[in-house]
Amino acid sequence: MPVDKAEAERVARRFLDAANAGDTKGVEATFAENARFDSVGRVYPSRADIMNRFLIPEVLDVGGRYKATGSRWDGDRYVVNYDFKTSGGGGESFSYAFLIQDGLIRDVVGRY
């Protein structure tokens, strides 16, 4: 199935905006129920796991803020580079390679 690149870019932006607003329900709504997220080898096999074991404790609860620093297409994946900072002053840079279909994030590969 061909990827709608404009739609994928909008969904990735909705994810960033919701995460930066601390909007748990908004972030959750960007993911398919059976989405998968590989965060540097830590694999979360469902939307519930992605939210409860990763994004809520490691991003939303710590006041995390993503700043997109670049993006590109790699096949069917929209790759966004981020600088990430927490409200406590911690920070790191990484990329998320999003696979987005039918308006939902289906898979993400996060790498430093």
User: pLDDT per residue over 2-42, tens digit each?
Assistant: 789 999 999 999 999 999 999 999 999 999 999 999 999 99
Q: Would you kindly state where each structural domain of the chain is located, as residue ranges?
A: 5-111
Q: Decide: 79 and 69 in contact? Cβ < 8 Å.
A: no
Which tokens in the block code for residue 61?
């609860």
pLDDT for 2 equals 79
Q: Note the residue count of the chain.
A: 112
From residue 38, give the alpha-carbon distance in Å to each of 2, 28, 52, 99.
23, 16, 14, 12
CA distance 104 to 41: 22
The answer as to CATH 3.90.1300.10 being correct for domain 5-111 is no
